[in-house]
């Protein structure tokens, strides 16, 4: 082990496995050699990686472009530090961490794998002093729930940007994980919350999570339903479906001089909407992106650990790593009913 003398612990595993997607939308679990870590790096053994269905499958289906195929998606995970470079400070072998990106180089049959951002992998290599997005996991934080930390953090960041206050009437159109994160953040701020969706399962979950009003977008006049709750319209409306055709509906639901939040990701292609409605209402618009960085992540992890954020109810599917290719194929073909938050289990113990 002389070659690894700079590390505080030698690498035990010499290979990593990662979930890979090619340009034909085929998924496979591939094996890669683990390189020696550099003095400023740590090696992490992944315990769980969280699935962001909206963003990841936008990449798979080329609605978003984060670089060429083949690619390894995933941008949220929890793991255990298994080796530490000699120059690293603040991290020790055995520490549990949550992180946003994997810098492990991967090559498949002579072709470089695009790690966008590569957390669906049994191991991660990160230089903590250079990489934004890694922190210690609190001792009382659930590893599985915490591996999906980015999803609620995006919603929390959006609520913070929009300046939601106690008593505000807040409506979220589209209650996927990010939309639910925004609703729960607004709940914690004392807002009157209104969730809108088409899925009976999501509507039922929102009710169990304590959302004040849950509206089925397919039943009757949505605008009239909102008017009965918030005369004149909601103070803040979040459009969370990521479907541009739903923007015009959402604009109708916000009050004059209210706030509108483009919570969804509408992809690379140009989008359009009827300008005169938001223009006539003199709306203030917000375009949140990312998860609010360290402050939002820390808040979400803390709230999950304390139980104040009942995020466990959002986890609909947990699969082992060897099941991940089949599971992702089923998602890509819309064959996973009632999918909300999904997690991949990597560690064997």
- For residue 44, the cross-strand partners are 81, 124
pLDDT, position 300: 97
Listed in sequence order, the DSSP H helices in 26-124 are 53-60
Tally Cβ neighbours within 10 Å of residue 110.
5
Task: Say what the pLDDT of residue 188 is.
Answer: 97
Question: So what's the pLDDT on residue 306?
Answer: 95
Q: Nearest-CA neighbor of 158 among 342, 285, 244, 59?
A: 285
Quick check: helix, strand or coil at residue 40?
A: coil
- Of residues 84, 10, 16, the one with CA closest to residue 1: 10
Tokens of 164: 């939601």
Neighbours of 171 (CB within 10 A): 28
Confidence (pLDDT) at 132: 86
Q: What is the pLDDT of residue 2?
A: 35
pLDDT at 107: 94
Residue 94 burial (10 A CB sphere; 0-12, 13-18, 19+): exposed
Instruction: Tell me what pLDDT residue 4 has.
Output: 38
Q: Where are the domains of the chain?
A: 2-149+314-345, 150-286
Q: Are 32 and 16 in contact (CB under 8 A)?
A: yes
What pLDDT sits at residue 13? Answer: 55
How far lies 141's CA from each of 147, 188, 309, 333, in Å? 10, 19, 12, 34
- Top CATH class of 2-149+314-345 equals alpha beta
- In 138-224, at which residue ranges do the beta strands (DSSP E only) sit? 169-173, 192-197, 213-216
DSSP label at residue 102? -
Longest Cα–Cα distance of the chain, Å, equals 73
What CATH number was assigned to the domain covering residues 150-286?
Answer: 3.40.50.720
pLDDT string in tens for the chain (349-residue length): 333 334 454 445 589 999 999 999 999 999 999 999 999 999 999 999 999 999 999 999 999 999 999 999 999 999 999 999 999 999 999 999 999 999 999 999 999 999 989 999 999 999 999 998 999 999 999 999 999 999 999 999 999 999 999 999 999 999 999 999 999 999 999 999 999 999 999 999 999 999 999 999 999 899 999 999 999 999 999 999 999 999 999 999 999 999 999 999 999 999 999 999 999 999 999 999 999 999 999 999 999 999 999 999 999 999 999 999 999 999 999 999 999 999 999 997 6
Rounded (5°) CA angle 319-116-131: 105
Whether omega before 70 lies within 30 degrees of 0, making that bond cis, reads: yes
**Buried/exposed 56-76: b ≥16 CB within 10 Å, e otherwise:** bbbbbeebbeeeebbbbbbbb
Residue 146 vs residues 149, 176, 270: alpha-carbon distances, Å: 5, 17, 34
């Amino acid at each position: 082990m002389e070659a690894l003398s700079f590390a505080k612990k030698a690498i035990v595993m010499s290979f990593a496995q990662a979930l890979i997607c090619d340009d034909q939308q085929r998924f496979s679990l591939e094996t890669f050699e683990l390189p020696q870590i550099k003095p400023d790096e740590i090696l992490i053994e992944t315990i769980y990686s969280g699935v962001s269905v909206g963003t990841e499958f936008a990449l798979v289906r080329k609605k978003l472009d984060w670089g060429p195929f083949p690619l390894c998606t995933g941008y949220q995970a929890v793991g255990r530090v298994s080796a530490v470079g000699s120059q690293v400070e603040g991290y020790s072998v055995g520490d549990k961490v949550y992180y946003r990106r994997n810098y492990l180089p991967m090559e498949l049959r002579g072709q470089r794998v695009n790690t966008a951002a590569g957390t669906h992998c049994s191991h991660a290599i990160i230089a903590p002093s250079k990489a934004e997005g890694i922190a210690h996991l609190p001792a009382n934080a659930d590893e599985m729930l915490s591996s999906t930390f980015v999803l609620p953090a995006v919603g929390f960041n959006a609520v913070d940007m929009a300046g939601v206050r106690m008593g505000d009437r807040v409506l979220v159109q589209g209650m996927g994980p990010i939309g639910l994160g925004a609703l729960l953040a607004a709940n914690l701020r004392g807002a009157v919350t209104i969730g809108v969706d088409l899925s009976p399962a999501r509507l039922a979950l929102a009710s169990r999570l304590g959302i004040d009003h849950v509206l089925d977008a397919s039943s009757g006049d949505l605008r009239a339903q909102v008017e009965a709750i918030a005369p004149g319209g909601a103070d803040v409306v979040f459009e969370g479906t990521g479907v541009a055709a739903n923007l015009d509906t959402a604009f109708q639901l916000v009050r004059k001089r209210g706030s509108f939040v483009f919570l969804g990701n509408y992809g690379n292609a140009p989008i359009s909407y009827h300008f005169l409605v938001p223009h006539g209402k003199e709306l203030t618009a917000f375009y949140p992106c990312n998860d609010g960085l360290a402050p939002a992540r820390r808040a979400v992890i803390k709230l999950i650990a304390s139980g104040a954020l009942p995020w466990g109810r959002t986890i609909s599917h947990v699969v082992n790593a060897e099941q991940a290719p089949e599971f992702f194929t089923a998602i890509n073909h819309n064959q996973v009913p009632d999918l909300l938050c999904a997690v991949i289990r990597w560690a064997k113990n």
